[in-house]
Structure formats: C-alpha cells, structure tokens
Amino acid sequence: MDFQDYYSPCNLCSHNCGVNRLTGQRGLCGETGELRLAKAGLHFGEEPPLTGSGG
C-alpha cells in the first residue's frame, strides 16, 4: 500500500470525506495532495521494554 491509496478516496483524518486529493480537490480539512511534514527526528529516549533489543 502506498500513499496514493490514502489520498483517493481520502481517509487520512477523522472527517473521512473521501475526496480525490490527487486531482487537486481539497478535503474538509483543507489539505490538498501536496505532502507536508511538520517534524522529523530520531528519538532514542524510549524505555527498553518499548524498544526491544534492537533499539
């Protein structure tokens, strides 16, 4: 499954509006098919029972 499966029909948020964001339609949330990223970063602070032996 790739990102296009989520964008048409759109079901990324709780509105589940079903628009085709790949053709430029905007959903109830106002977003288009352009991917935006708020933050990316590695986080190594989880406790060992959550991360397992591989981190």
Q: So what's the pLDDT on residue 55?
A: 56
* φ and ψ at residue 10, rounded to 5 degrees: -70, 130
> What is the amino acid identity at position 19?
V
Domains of the chain, by residue range, sit at 1-31
Q: So what's the pLDDT on residue 52?
A: 67
Task: Tell me the two tokens of residue 17.
Answer: 């509006």
pTM > 0.85: no
pLDDT in tens, 15-34: 999 999 989 899 888 888 88
Contact criterion met (CB below 8 Å) for 13 and 22: no
Q: So what's the pLDDT on residue 18?
A: 92
Contact criterion met (CB below 8 Å) for 45 and 55: no
Q: So what's the pLDDT on residue 20?
A: 93
